[in-house]
Amino acid sequence: MTASDLAKILGFYGRFTPTYSRIGYWGRRTQWTRSKRDFTGQNWLVTGASGGIGAAIVAGAAEAGATVIAVARSEDKLAQARASLSPEAAARVESRICDLSSVASIATLLASLRDDGRRIDVLQNNVGVLFNELEMTGEGFETTYVINLLGQYQLTEGLIDAGLLGEKPLIVNMASGGLYNVPQNTKLLNVTDAKRYGGKVAYASHKRGQVVLSGLWNERLKPMGGHSYVLHPGWARTEGVQKALPTFYKIQGAILRSPAEGADTALWLAAERPSAAGRSIWFDRAVRPEHVFPHTHSAKCTDEDLVAFLKQDLSKAIASE
């Protein structure tokens, strides 16, 4: 490691640890007013619900009265998460098995939701993963691209187009502070060449794309009296972070946020529904800058380019089924 590399690492941790870790969360919460969460009568759908922040969102919503469709790939993990709830909350949680890296599996989930005819009042696009090595889906995509972005676009657009959202619906998109490292760029979304693939760059690019989609969906929901929000949770202590960033997890482990602390702003947004929505990036109950580094200000593609990219890939995948 060079002196320059070491300086960058120390600068990174020195800048972001006080705010993204539990230190920042506990410091800010002393200034917050009490938020009453009553989601009685609401139907929620939460992706990535079998652990970490997703399970914490399910717990927070169900304990506050919501009926929750918890979506993930592992039936066993969903059952374990549900078993950790109070009996009253657990009775309001329904598990749905879906491989969120598969366009076909998401299409099946959408079909089952259409068959149910149940309206979704709050959609929490929570699922997100970071892989350090390239993995491909059976449909020919880089796996995390589908999980983090393409599949969320498919699910959300499918719900809107099918009229499956309730009155004054809410969409909450769980991004990451990692998005601050890259500009908007379609060329980084679906890298299928192992020599060019970088997991952290891919993940950051997907999360940057979520900002664009949140703006798109907010415009679509406005006539319905709804909102779309995008947020990042800070640094949380989850199994996904431990697997993807083991050194970071080891260094920061003692001061990483709990999953419930990472879920706080997502639940707060659902309860309070502030006016700043769309591309406004929320963190710890406040709007934060869309950029923190100069090199990300100049987008490498337009919003329209990014949406067209997703539409094209989704159409190709559906046509091949």
Q: Which of 25, 153, 203, 229 is catalytic?
A: 203
Q: In whole angstroms, give the CA distance from residue 130 to residue 176.
A: 11
Asked if residues 196 and 168 have their Cβ atoms less than 8 Å apart, the reply is: no
CA 48 to chain CA mean position, Å: 9
203 is catalytic: yes
Q: In whole angstroms, give the CA distance from residue 130 to residue 232.
A: 15
Residue 255's alpha-carbon distances to 141, 235, 237, in angstroms, are: 35, 9, 9
Q: In whole angstroms, give the CA distance from residue 308 to residue 304.
A: 6
Asked if residues 268 and 39 have their Cβ atoms less than 8 Å apart, the reply is: no
Beta strands in 238-280 (DSSP E): none
Q: In whole angstroms, give the CA distance from residue 28 to residue 19.
A: 9
Q: In whole angstroms, give the CA distance from residue 92 to residue 88.
A: 7
Q: In whole angstroms, give the CA distance from residue 263 to residue 53.
A: 5
| Of 265, 281, 257, the residue nearest 19 (C-alpha) | 257
Catalytically annotated residues: 203
